Structure 1
Amino acid sequence: MSPFNSFIAGLPRLPPRESRHRSSNPFTLLASLTAMQWAFFFSGWFAWVCDAVDFFAVSLSTARLATQFAKPVGTVTLSITLTLLFRPLGAFIFGILSDRYGRKWPLIGNLLLIAAFSLGTGFVQTFSAFLALRSMFGITMGGIWGLAVSMSLENMPVEARGLFSGFLQLGYPVGYLIIAAVNLNPYIQKQQHWRVLFYTGAGMSLFAAVIRLLLPESAYFKERQQCRAELEADGAITKSATMTTLRELGKTLRVHWARCVWSVIFMSAFNFYSHGSQDLYPTYVQIDKGLSPHLATVTTIIGNCGAIAGCTVGGFVSQFLGRRLTIIVMAVFCCAMLPLWLLPTSFAGLAAGAFFVQAGVQGAYGVVPVYLSEISPVAFRATWPGVAYQLGNMVASASAQIEATAGAKIKDPTTGKPAYGKVAAILIAVSAVVLIACCLVGAEDHGAHFENGRAAFENDAGLDIVEDPERQLSKVVSNGDQKDQVKVYHKEHV
Structure 2
Amino acid sequence: MAETITTNTPAGPIVRGTFATAKQSLGDLFIWKQRVAITNDYGETHCEWQSPRRLRNPFSLFAQLGPKEWLFFLVGLAAWTADAFDFHALSIQTVKLAKYYDTSKTNVTTAITLTLLLRSVGAAFFGMAGDKFGRKYPMVVNMIILGLLQVATIYSATFTQFLAVRSLFGLFMGGVYGNAIAMALENCPLDARGLMSGILQQGYSLGYVIAASCNLGVGGSTDSWKTVFWIGTGLSIGVGFLRLLFPESRQFIEAKKLGKDQASASAFWVETRKMLAQEWRMCVYCIILMTWFNYYSHTSQDSYTTFMLTQKELDNSAASRASILMKTGACVGGTIIGYASQWFGRRRSIVCSAIMSGILIPAWILPTTERSLSATGFFMQFFVQGAWGVIPIHLNELSPPAFRSSFVGITYQIGNMISSPSAQIVNAIAERHNVKALDGELAPAYGPTMGIATAIIAIGIAVTTALGPERRGAKFELAKPAGVQEVMRRKSVDVESQGGEKAQNIEAEHIPEKQ
Structure 1 residues 5 and 52, CA gap change in structure 2 (3 angstroms): closer
Residues 83-118 of structure 1: CA distance to partner in whole angstroms, max 9, x if unpaired? Answer: 000000010010000000001111111111111101
- Mean CA deviation greater in 171-180 or 13-22: 13-22
- Which residue is 1:332 aligned to? 355
Secondary structure of the 1:229 match is coil
- Which residue is 1:196 aligned to? 227
- Which residue is 1:455 aligned to? 481
- Which residue is 2:390 aligned to? 367
Q: How big is the shift at 1:10?
A: 1.6
Q: How big is the shift at 1:372?
A: 0.3
Distance 1:294 1:448 in 2: 46
- Which residue is 1:106 aligned to? 138
Residues 284-332 of structure 1: CA distance to partner in whole angstroms, max 9, x if unpaired? Answer: 1111111111111001000011000111011101011111100001111
Q: How big is the shift at 1:493?
A: 11
Q: How big is the shift at 1:19?
A: 6.6
Q: Aligned pairs, how many? A: 460
- Which residue is 2:84 aligned to? 52
Secondary structure of the 1:367 match is helix
Structure 1 residues 192 and 6, CA gap change in structure 2 (3 angstroms): closer
Distance 1:112 1:398 in 2: 27
Residues 253-287 of structure 1: CA distance to partner in whole angstroms, max 9, x if unpaired? Answer: 22211111111111000000110011111101111
Asked whether the equivalents of residues 23 and 467 of structure 2 are also in contact (C-alpha less than 8 Å), the reply is no
The structure in which a higher percent of residues are strand is 2
Structure 1 residues 419 and 396, CA gap change in structure 2 (3 angstroms): same
- Which residue is 2:99 aligned to? 67
Asked whether the equivalents of residues 375 and 445 of structure 1 are also in contact (C-alpha less than 8 Å), the reply is yes
Distance 1:80 1:6 in 2: 36
- Which residue is 1:353 aligned to? 376
Asked whether the equivalents of residues 131 and 406 of structure 2 are also in contact (C-alpha less than 8 Å), the reply is yes
Structure 1 residues 19 and 54, CA gap change in structure 2 (3 angstroms): farther
Residues 1:402 and 2:433 are matched in the alignment: no
2:399 corresponds, among 356, 376, 382, to 376
1:445 corresponds, among 446, 468, 471, to 471
Distance 2:343 2:54 in 1: 10
Distance 2:390 2:121 in 1: 24
- Which residue is 1:289 aligned to? 312
Residues 1:115 and 2:147 are matched in the alignment: yes
Asked whether the equivalents of residues 81 and 398 of structure 1 are also in contact (C-alpha less than 8 Å), the reply is yes
Residue 195 of structure 1 aligns to which amino acid in structure 2? K
Name structure 1 gaps, 5 residues minimum. Answer: 233-239, 462-486
Q: Cα RMSD between the aligned structures?
A: 2.2
Residue 476 of structure 2 aligns to which amino acid in structure 1? F
Distance 1:181 1:389 in 2: 27
Structure 1 residues 396 and 5, CA gap change in structure 2 (3 angstroms): closer
Distance 2:301 2:404 in 1: 28
Secondary structure of the 1:428 match is helix
Asked whether the equivalents of residues 22 and 468 of structure 2 are also in contact (C-alpha less than 8 Å), the reply is no
1:429 corresponds, among 450, 455, 469, to 455
Distance 1:375 1:153 in 2: 13
Could you tell me the TM-score, scaled by structure 2's length? 0.85
Residues 112-152 of structure 1: CA distance to partner in whole angstroms, max 9, x if unpaired? Answer: 11111012111111101100110000011101110011101
Asked whether the equivalents of residues 110 and 140 of structure 1 are also in contact (C-alpha less than 8 Å), the reply is yes
Question: Which segments of structure 1 move beyond 6 Å, counting only runs of 4 or more?
Answer: 1-5, 487-490
Q: How big is the shift at 1:244?
A: 1.2
Asked whether the equivalents of residues 64 and 191 of structure 1 are also in contact (C-alpha less than 8 Å), the reply is yes
Q: How big is the shift at 1:459?
A: 3.3
Residue 430 of structure 1 aligns to which amino acid in structure 2? I
Residues 337-356 of structure 1: CA distance to partner in whole angstroms, max 9, x if unpaired? Answer: 11111111111111111101
Distance 2:127 2:308 in 1: 37
Residue 46 of structure 1 aligns to which amino acid in structure 2? A
Residues 21-57 of structure 1: CA distance to partner in whole angstroms, max 9, x if unpaired? Answer: 3542211101111000000000100000000111011
- Which residue is 2:180 aligned to? 148
Asked whether the equivalents of residues 407 and 423 of structure 1 are also in contact (C-alpha less than 8 Å), the reply is yes
Asked whether the equivalents of residues 429 and 449 of structure 2 are also in contact (C-alpha less than 8 Å), the reply is yes
Asked whether the equivalents of residues 165 and 366 of structure 1 are also in contact (C-alpha less than 8 Å), the reply is yes
Residues 1:126 and 2:141 are matched in the alignment: no
- Which residue is 1:479 aligned to? none
Instruction: Map residues 203-218 of structure 1 onto 2, 5 A cutoff.
Output: 203-218=234-249
Could you tell me the TM-score, scaled by structure 1's length? 0.89
Larger radius of gyration, structure 1 or 2? 2
Name structure 2 gaps, 5 residues minimum. Answer: 1-14, 35-48, 496-515
Residues 1:168 and 2:183 are matched in the alignment: no
Q: How big is the shift at 1:18?
A: 6.6
Asked whether the equivalents of residues 22 and 469 of structure 2 are also in contact (C-alpha less than 8 Å), the reply is no
Instruction: Map residues 6-45 of structure 1 onto 2, 5 A cutoff.
Output: 7-11=22-26, 12=29, 13-14=31-32, 16=34, 20-45=52-77
Instruction: Map residues 219-230 of structure 1 onto 2, 5 A cutoff.
Output: 219-227=250-258, 229=260
Distance 1:493 1:183 in 2: 62
- Which residue is 2:503 aligned to? none
Residue 298 of structure 2 aligns to which amino acid in structure 1? H
Asked whether the equivalents of residues 251 and 479 of structure 2 are also in contact (C-alpha less than 8 Å), the reply is no
